[in-house]
Chain A
């Protein structure tokens, strides 16, 4: 596996305000990286810095085989051979679909241009629309034109800024799978930005979670999902609910039962309020047990009933408001039930 893109200690400041600090990332050829994080975390700035629209102040961007970009050697965007798909697609309104796609191909001869464009048109099911103008197309069609236009010059790296945010929620999944299989078929290395965690898990080979200009964690979606490195990562990706924990000598206490200390797989930071990351699949009903939670909210989903539970304990240090729990049993709102924590590799975090 060859590494295509390496970011080393990349930092960006706009008007003296740090936007990105010390970003380190690598991306292998052919992989798709999903950048996630809350709005304003700097993910779009990172994309724009890689594309060359924002200047870096420190650190370097290396693109295999031999391009190294740092503050002393800022290579202009047009010389980076990086394709970009914008959130609003940024199709040229004065050019037809065909000419939009041909825009980046002026350096190659007409015959080759025509074959390349025709291939892309048919690959993206746009052949019938080649003479139309962008305003005559639907949102999904516009996105496909933007993809074809960005792919036409055969960029080394493709950047996508919130590519699905303007697409109807019902079409989104379909388009996502379509685009993913297209990129895989063409062997394209890509980075895409989103604030939607579901998109990353279904689209990316690798994810990077950002917060306040830093990359908190990067890795395969499965690794990150199983081993979030911090409270922020787990919280943003909504991996599970948070259960306050009090440490005893051999055991830790929670409002719905105790856990043996030895079985704790992961514990970050001492001397702070600790929380157990509890995924819904690690919670079980305890039909004979003493009631310990109250049903606050009921929702019907494709996985059965989704309940939000609050604790019944009087101990303020252990009480919680929103514990996610799925079950096929029917309970009414306000009903009190008993649950327990199933044994697993417990992970404790502090905020």
Chain B
């Protein structure tokens, strides 16, 4: 647009918000990198190599397993006539709703020495002690990797399946007319063409893995996230925690760059779903194998843990627990409500700024505000502490000078820090949803009101907002759900005695008492289903 709105306050506010969202992370990075070399060399000589190597090993394993689970599933669903395809198509997305730490806890319960599986085996084979038989140990790095991959592989499945389904079928036909069978053509043409999609989804999985805290903490695998948590909460060493967070942040940055490059490679992919895919007709044995593979993933990643949770809830739920959940649930709702409302408001302000304002850099505030999606909650928490702590300190100093009661940790020690951290983390979700809504509005509608003598100030509430109603709702809902589920940032930033649903569940899991929070855990899973249903609906309407 050549002209556009020239409102200076709008411009100022947009830039202020964008900068406010990015400042804490910059502060943390500078203070982390600027921390004494002595501290780094000490860390390097003691724990850091283990943390880093564990983190990298975990990341590689999770990505590998996610690809091993997700790519074959995508191929089976998109390329074959596998039995139950209609259902498996969306069932395979459900594990996304399951937090990895819940799966980890439930499977540990199921498979460890005192669990039903080993008890049954011992009883059946007359074994008496661990010396009599070998059984895999789930509480290992490998175990953690499988648990995390079981709930993250749907990212790979979804993106790669879409890539397969959008491929130009003439390419497959060309390959066949050149002498390759359907299966050979898949290997020679479809799979190589899906490489960018595999890379993008792998980097999403990688980001989520680097951000994981609760699963590895539960399995006592020391990674960078658990290190941040331990050094801050157990030893109270803010500068060390900051330094570790900065290292993790750098790892994330590499991933983001890798993802951007992979996305650039997707230019061959069209976004048009192709309905003339020639399905491979499977033999009975192949049906059994392919459907079995998919069902195994659905059962292991969702159905089994979900059923275990339901059973737990039925067995142990009491009114008292419900009462306890109510107060933490209220806190969760409160946090999620603020976060969802603020991010949605910001997304609206910035997307419309990008669309309607005349200024040259009008798309930058939106971009800047969305950078936080890749940053792990633990890192964000450190960023909030690194930034808000000194501000609190300064405020208290000012109060002392003015001889009024010191406000205490009014920013860093309150729900404010949690909300700010979550707004930074989830702004990208709201931005994405609202921007795509804005893009659906024809550009002529920006100009039409002016031609009718209606100013922009009046046309935004009269034209744009009504058209964006459903986008606003979806953005709000998606952020709300994510904010309900978020754990590590809240865990690190919560004021004393402040519990949310997820921190309470996490506490119960650490104390091996999940039974008492089974209803809450179910609630988290059910909330998690909302965005999955939304994703499914969105893509089936393409």
Q: Are B193 and A84 in contact (CB under 8 A)?
A: no
Taking CB atoms, residues of chain B closer than 8 Å to A153 are 178-179
Q: How far is the CA of A93 from the CA of B196 in the complex (A)?
A: 13
B278 on interface, CB distance cutoff 8 Å: yes
Q: Are A103 and B178 in contact (CB under 8 A)?
A: yes
Q: How far is the CA of A80 from the CA of B178 in the complex (A)?
A: 10
Q: Are A86 and B173 in contact (CB under 8 A)?
A: yes
Q: A93-B193, A94-B193, A94-B268 are in contact. Are A86 and B178 (CB under 8 A)?
A: no
Q: A78-B179, A78-B181 are in contact. Are A93 and B173 (CB under 8 A)?
A: no
Taking CB atoms, residues of chain B closer than 8 Å to A91 are 174
Taking CB atoms, residues of chain B closer than 8 Å to A149 are 174, 178
A53-70 vs B: 1/0 string, CB under 8 Å? 100000000000000000
Q: Are B181 and A82 in contact (CB under 8 A)?
A: no
Taking CB atoms, residues of chain B closer than 8 Å to A159 are 177
Q: A78-B180, A78-B181, A149-B178 are in contact. Are A90 and B173 (CB under 8 A)?
A: yes
Q: A76-B181, A78-B181, A94-B192 are in contact. Are A84 and B278 (CB under 8 A)?
A: no
Q: How far is the CA of A155 from the CA of B268 in the complex (A)?
A: 28
Taking CB atoms, residues of chain A closer than 8 Å to B106 are none
B171 on interface, CB distance cutoff 8 Å: yes
Q: How far is the CA of A92 from the CA of B168 in the complex (A)?
A: 10
B175 on interface, CB distance cutoff 8 Å: yes
Q: How far is the CB of B494 from chain A (nearest CB, A)?
A: 50
Taking CB atoms, residues of chain B closer than 8 Å to A53 are 173, 176, 278
A93-122 vs B: 1/0 string, CB under 8 Å? 110000000011011000000000000000
B173-199 vs A: 1/0 string, CB under 8 Å? 111111111001000110011010000
Per a CB cutoff under 8 Å, which of A81, A84, A106, A107 touches B174?
A: A84
Q: How far is the CA of A88 from the CA of B167 in the complex (A)?
A: 13
Q: Are A78 and B192 in contact (CB under 8 A)?
A: no
Report the nearest A residue to B181, measured CB to CB: A78
A221 on interface, CB distance cutoff 8 Å: no
B155-181 vs A: 1/0 string, CB under 8 Å? 000000000000010110111111111
A77 on interface, CB distance cutoff 8 Å: yes
Q: How far is the CA of A84 from the CA of B170 in the complex (A)?
A: 10
Report the nearest A residue to B195, measured CB to CB: A94
Q: Are A90 and B179 in contact (CB under 8 A)?
A: no
Q: How far is the CB of A81 from chain B (nearest CB, A)?
A: 8
Q: A76-B181, A78-B181 are in contact. Are A92 and B171 (CB under 8 A)?
A: yes
Q: Are A51 and B192 in contact (CB under 8 A)?
A: no
Per a CB cutoff under 8 Å, which of B171, B173, B179, B192 touches A104?
A: B179
Chain B 421-460 interface residues, beta-carbon cutoff 8 Å to A: none
B residues contacting the other copy or chain, number (CB 8 A): 20
Taking CB atoms, residues of chain B closer than 8 Å to A94 are 192-193, 195, 268
Q: How far is the CA of A103 from the CA of B177 in the complex (A)?
A: 11
A34 on interface, CB distance cutoff 8 Å: no
Interface centre among B189, B193, B278 (most CB of A within 10 A): B189
A150 on interface, CB distance cutoff 8 Å: yes
Taking CB atoms, residues of chain B closer than 8 Å to A52 are 176
Q: Are B177 and A88 in contact (CB under 8 A)?
A: no
Q: How far is the CA of A94 from the CA of B188 in the complex (A)?
A: 10
Chain A 123-180 interface residues, beta-carbon cutoff 8 Å to B: 149-150, 153, 155, 159
Taking CB atoms, residues of chain B closer than 8 Å to A83 are 177-178
Interface centre among B171, B180, B278 (most CB of A within 10 A): B171
Q: How far is the CA of A153 from the CA of B179 in the complex (A)?
A: 9
Report the nearest B residue to A90, measured CB to CB: B170
Q: How far is the CB of B265 from chain A (nearest CB, A)?
A: 10
Q: How far is the CA of A82 from the CA of B173 in the complex (A)?
A: 11
Report the nearest A residue to B185, measured CB to CB: A78
Q: How far is the CA of A82 from the CA of B174 in the complex (A)?
A: 10
Q: Are B176 and A78 in contact (CB under 8 A)?
A: yes
Taking CB atoms, residues of chain B closer than 8 Å to A150 are 177-178
Interface centre among B176, B195, B268, B278 (most CB of A within 10 A): B176
Q: How far is the CA of A81 from the CA of B179 in the complex (A)?
A: 7
Taking CB atoms, residues of chain A closer than 8 Å to B168 are 88, 90
Report the nearest A residue to B269, measured CB to CB: A93
Q: Are B176 and A77 in contact (CB under 8 A)?
A: yes
Q: Are B170 and A86 in contact (CB under 8 A)?
A: yes
Taking CB atoms, residues of chain A closer than 8 Å to B193 are 92-94
Q: Are B268 and A84 in contact (CB under 8 A)?
A: no
Per a CB cutoff under 8 Å, which of B171, B179, B181, B192 touches A107?
A: B179
Report the nearest B residue to A161, measured CB to CB: B170
Q: How far is the CA of A106 from the CA of B168 in the complex (A)?
A: 23
Report the nearest B residue to A79, measured CB to CB: B179
Taking CB atoms, residues of chain B closer than 8 Å to A107 are 179
Q: Are B179 and A86 in contact (CB under 8 A)?
A: no
Q: Are B268 and A78 in contact (CB under 8 A)?
A: no
Q: A76-B181, A93-B268 are in contact. Are A103 and B175 (CB under 8 A)?
A: yes
Taking CB atoms, residues of chain A closer than 8 Å to B173 are 51, 53, 77, 84, 86, 90
Q: How far is the CA of A21 from the CA of B174 in the complex (A)?
A: 26
Taking CB atoms, residues of chain A closer than 8 Å to B177 are 51, 77-78, 80, 82-84, 150, 155, 159
B283-309 vs A: 1/0 string, CB under 8 Å? 000000000000000000000000000
Q: How far is the CB of A75 from chain B (nearest CB, A)?
A: 12
Taking CB atoms, residues of chain A closer than 8 Å to B170 are 86-88, 90
A298-315 vs B: 1/0 string, CB under 8 Å? 000000000000000000
Interface centre among B174, B177, B189, B268 (most CB of A within 10 A): B177
Q: Are A86 and B192 in contact (CB under 8 A)?
A: no
Report the nearest A residue to B278, measured CB to CB: A53
Q: How far is the CA of A161 from the CA of B179 in the complex (A)?
A: 19
Report the nearest A residue to B170, measured CB to CB: A90
Chain A 197-252 interface residues, beta-carbon cutoff 8 Å to B: none
Taking CB atoms, residues of chain A closer than 8 Å to B192 are 94
Q: How far is the CB of B44 from chain A (nearest CB, A)?
A: 42
Report the nearest A residue to B189, measured CB to CB: A92
Q: How far is the CB of B344 from chain A (nearest CB, A)?
A: 39
**A76-B181, A84-B173, A93-B193 known, 7 other contacts, Cβ within 8 Å:** A53-B173, A86-B170, A92-B174, A93-B268, A104-B179, A153-B179, A155-B177
Chain A residues engaging chain B, CB cutoff 8 angstroms: 51-53, 76-78, 80-84, 86-88, 90-94, 103-104, 106-107, 149-150, 153, 155, 159
What are 27 A-B interface contacts by the 8 Å CB criterion? A51-B173, A51-B177, A52-B176, A53-B173, A77-B173, A77-B177, A81-B179, A83-B178, A84-B174, A86-B173, A87-B170, A88-B168, A90-B174, A92-B171, A92-B174, A92-B175, A92-B189, A92-B193, A93-B193, A94-B192, A94-B193, A94-B195, A103-B178, A103-B188, A104-B178, A149-B174, A159-B177
Query: What 5 A-B pairs have minimum CB-CB distances, sorted nearest first?
Result: A104-B178, A90-B170, A84-B177, A77-B176, A90-B174
